[in-house]
């Protein structure tokens, strides 16, 4: 109750303040609050989406909604105080009572909007002693919605309902293309606390960069079992396929994580309010090969990509009955809405075979060479070649708690810091249990990797398509493992660059002309005992096999 008590105290303080200031001043302030809130909701998502790829991505929605509201309210108050300085003469009792009424309304709307905005910050599901809407563990469904009925939730519902009502008229957001109820149904339920319902007690990612999501398809799935229970009743459903790239992963590109409350299908809003469906099951690649069905039948069941793979393709299943008579209009993934494509007939989801995901076309340019001799699997606890780095003098490199590199880049003098103690030494690029680090000598030389213009005609002639191509090693199943970092040694300086969760592309690699004498090492993270096939360049349209590999990564050394 602590947070609710604070909220109620704030509302009472606002009420008292405007009752003292009089009816007319309270009315003017109320109109300022209404106008500021309506405009904030109107520009909220277009502005927030632009920030999703930045470092503020996990807080962008909350920051924009609260920032625009507070900023506009301050501007309108300055304007009205400047140009409407006088109050109206009203009998004192009426002045106090009417002022208190408008003050109360302003307080409820302000505190409610701020509560909704703060609900879109990355945080734990429970903040202080307030939970609001959350999945429950006593009902095997996903998400099984529960509420603690806190007074603060009532305040948020009043504010959300009021601005939703306004969005039907002159205050319609999205330039008249819809309302809050058609674009963001169950707004308050989402903000408190389903938006924050993520892995690691709510501290995993709650947003994704829109550009990291691709290959969205909508399938009309006939009735099939969508529960792990024996003899489960077949259910007709909508299935959405999507592919997520590494820059949408959690943990600095380690793995993609998604709970059953972070994805939903939104109806077309017939009747003025969109319906929402949460998934009950999903299908994906299994570590041991093939594809399997999994079920959101417990809050602890979380969708995860296969360890170390650089992208993941998933199929999520939504019961048709949840949408009623409405057709799917939006697919919402971690707070980002995508227009649902036209539905097509579903493949055999009930079978165990792999579904054609429409992945990039595989191309073998016919000039591949084997690069086994250029590969090693070092212990990740090594001093980076050519330099030993003191963690106290790491520059722009980002380290985890064990001094492994997880982001940033920095140049260091070659052979510097040789006397650094083991406790202070920067070790290498981060790997986790069950993974190995692959180090590839990608120096530009005649018998080296074919990713440079002097060695590959496609790279020389394809222009931007080639420069935006990501570098990856693939296994015999076609799974991709993108380069997580690189080390360039020119004899005097050593450049250490971590991609920080984003795949390395050719344009991220400094120019390496043949005969330059520079040494370039690319580092890849992959599961132990992975059977490798080759090195590829992928641009989303095609996967070009440029070198072959016939090695397997060793067992986990941990």
Do 97 and 5 touch, CB atoms closer than 8 A?
A: no
The verdict on residue 396 lying in a domain is yes
pLDDT by residue (tens digit) across 239-265?
Answer: 999 999 888 998 878 889 999 999 999
Same domain flag for 381 and 506: yes
* pLDDT beyond 70 at 353: no
86 Cβ partners below 8 Å, 6+ apart? none
* pLDDT beyond 90 at 326: yes
- Please count the structural domains in the chain: 3
User: How far is residue 551's CA from residue 467's CA, in Å, rounded to a whole number?
Assistant: 27
Mean pLDDT of the chain: 88
The verdict on residue 8 lying in a domain is yes
CATH number at residue 211: 2.60.40
Same domain flag for 307 and 390: no
Same domain flag for 154 and 297: no
The verdict on residue 385 lying in a domain is yes
State whether the Cα torsion 474-525-315-340 is positive or negative. negative
Same domain flag for 187 and 203: no
Q: What is the mean pLDDT of residues 347-357?
A: 72
Q: What is the pLDDT of residue 139?
A: 66
* pLDDT beyond 80 at 290: no
**Weakest mean pLDDT among 12-16, 357-361, 401-405, 508-512:** 357-361
Same domain flag for 176 and 272: no
Residue 9 sits in which domain range? Answer: 2-191
Q: What is the pLDDT of residue 270?
A: 85
User: How far is residue 111's CA from residue 7's CA, in Å, rounded to a whole number?
Assistant: 7
Residue 330's pLDDT band (cuts 50, 70, 90): very high
* pLDDT beyond 70 at 416: no
- Domain boundary (172, 191, 210) is at 191
Q: Which two three-digit tokens encode residue 354? A: 């792999």
Q: What is the pLDDT of residue 268?
A: 92
Q: 10 Å Cβ neighbour count for 234?
A: 12
The verdict on residue 558 lying in a domain is no
The verdict on residue 557 lying in a domain is no
Give the chain's length: 558
Same domain flag for 351 and 367: no
Q: What is the pLDDT of residue 172?
A: 67
Q: What is the pLDDT of residue 450?
A: 93
The verdict on residue 553 lying in a domain is no
Q: What is the mean pLDDT of residues 432-453?
A: 91
User: How far is residue 498's CA from residue 483's CA, in Å, rounded to a whole number?
Assistant: 9
* pLDDT beyond 70 at 170: no
- Domain boundary (191, 210, 229) is at 191
Same domain flag for 183 and 235: no
Q: What is the pLDDT of residue 417?
A: 61
pTM score, two decimals? Answer: 0.85
Q: What is the CA radius of gyration of the chain?
A: 28
User: How far is residue 524's CA from residue 472's CA, in Å, rounded to a whole number?
Assistant: 8
User: How far is residue 556's CA from residue 436's CA, in Å, rounded to a whole number?
Assistant: 6
The verdict on residue 128 lying in a domain is yes
Q: Which two three-digit tokens encode residue 57? A: 């991505």
Q: What is the mean pLDDT of residues 263-277?
A: 91
Q: What is the pLDDT of residue 265?
A: 97
CA distances for 447 relative to 442, 474, 513, 535, angstroms: 10, 20, 14, 14
* pLDDT beyond 80 at 47: yes
């Amino acid at each position: 109750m602590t947070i609710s008590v604070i909220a109620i105290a704030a509302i009472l303080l606002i009420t008292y303040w405007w009752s003292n200031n009089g009816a007319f001043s309270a009315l003017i302030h109320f109109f300022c609050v209404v106008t500021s809130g309506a405009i904030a909701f109107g520009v909220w998502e277009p502005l927030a989406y632009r920030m999703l790829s930045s470092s503020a991505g996990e807080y962008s929605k909350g920051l924009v909604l609260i920032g625009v509201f507070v900023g506009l309210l301050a501007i309108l108050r300055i304007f009205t105080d400047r140009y409407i300085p006088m109050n109206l003469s009203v009998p004192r009792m009426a002045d106090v009572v009417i002022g208190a009424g408008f003050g109360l309304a302003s307080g409820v709307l302000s505190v409610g909007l701020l509560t909704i905005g703060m609900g879109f910050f990355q945080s734990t599901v429970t903040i202080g002693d307030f939970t609001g809407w959350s999945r429950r563990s006593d009902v095997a469904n996903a998400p099984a919605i529960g509420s603690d009925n806190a007074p603060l939730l009532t305040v948020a519902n009043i504010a959300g309902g009021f601005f939703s009502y306004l969005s039907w008229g002159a205050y319609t957001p999205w330039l008249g293309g819809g309302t809050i109820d058609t674009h963001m149904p169950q707004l308050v339920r989402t903000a408190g606390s389903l938006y924050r319902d993520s892995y690691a007690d709510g501290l995993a990612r709650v947003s994704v960069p829109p550009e990291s999501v691709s290959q969205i398809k909508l399938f009309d799935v006939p009735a099939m079992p969508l529960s792990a229970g024996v003899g489960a009743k077949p259910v007709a459903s909508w299935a959405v396929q999507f592919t997520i790239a590494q820059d949408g992963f959690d943990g600095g590109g380690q793995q993609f994580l998604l709970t059953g409350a972070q994805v939903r299908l939104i109806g077309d809003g017939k009747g003025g309010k969109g319906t929402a469906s949460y998934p009950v099951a999903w299908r994906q690649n299994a570590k041991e090969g093939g594809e399997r069905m999994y079920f959101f039948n417990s809050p602890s069941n979380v969708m995860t990509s296969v360890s170390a793979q650089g992208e993941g393709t998933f199929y999520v299943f939504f019961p048709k009955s949840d949408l009623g008579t409405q057709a799917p209009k939006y697919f919402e993934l971690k707070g980002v809405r995508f227009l649902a494509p036209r539905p097509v007939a579903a493949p055999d989801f009930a079978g165990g075979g792999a579904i054609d995901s429409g992945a990039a076309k595989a191309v073998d340019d016919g000039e591949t060479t084997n690069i086994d001799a250029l590969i090693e699997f070092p212990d990740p606890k090594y001093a980076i070649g050519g330099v030993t780095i003191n963690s106290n003098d790491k520059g722009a490199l980002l380290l985890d708690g064990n001094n492994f590199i997880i982001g940033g880049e920095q140049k260091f003098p070659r052979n510097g810091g040789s006397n650094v103690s083991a406790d202070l030494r920067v070790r290498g690029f981060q790997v986790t249990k069950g993974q190995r680090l692959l180090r590839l000598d990608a120096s530009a030389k005649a018998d080296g990797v074919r990713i440079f213009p002097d060695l590959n005609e496609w790279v020389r002639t394809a222009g931007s398509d080639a420069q935006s191509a990501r570098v990856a090693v693939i296994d015999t199943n076609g799974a991709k493992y993108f380069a997580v970092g690189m080390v360039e040694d020119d004899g005097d300086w050593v450049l250490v660059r971590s991609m920080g969760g984003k795949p390395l592309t050719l344009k991220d690699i400094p120019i390496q002309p043949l005969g330059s004498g520079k040494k370039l090492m690319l580092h890849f993270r992959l599961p132990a005992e992975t059977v490798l096939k080759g090195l590829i360049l992928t641009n989303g349209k095609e996967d070009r096999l440029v070198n072959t590999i016939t090695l397997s990564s060793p067992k986990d050394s941990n």
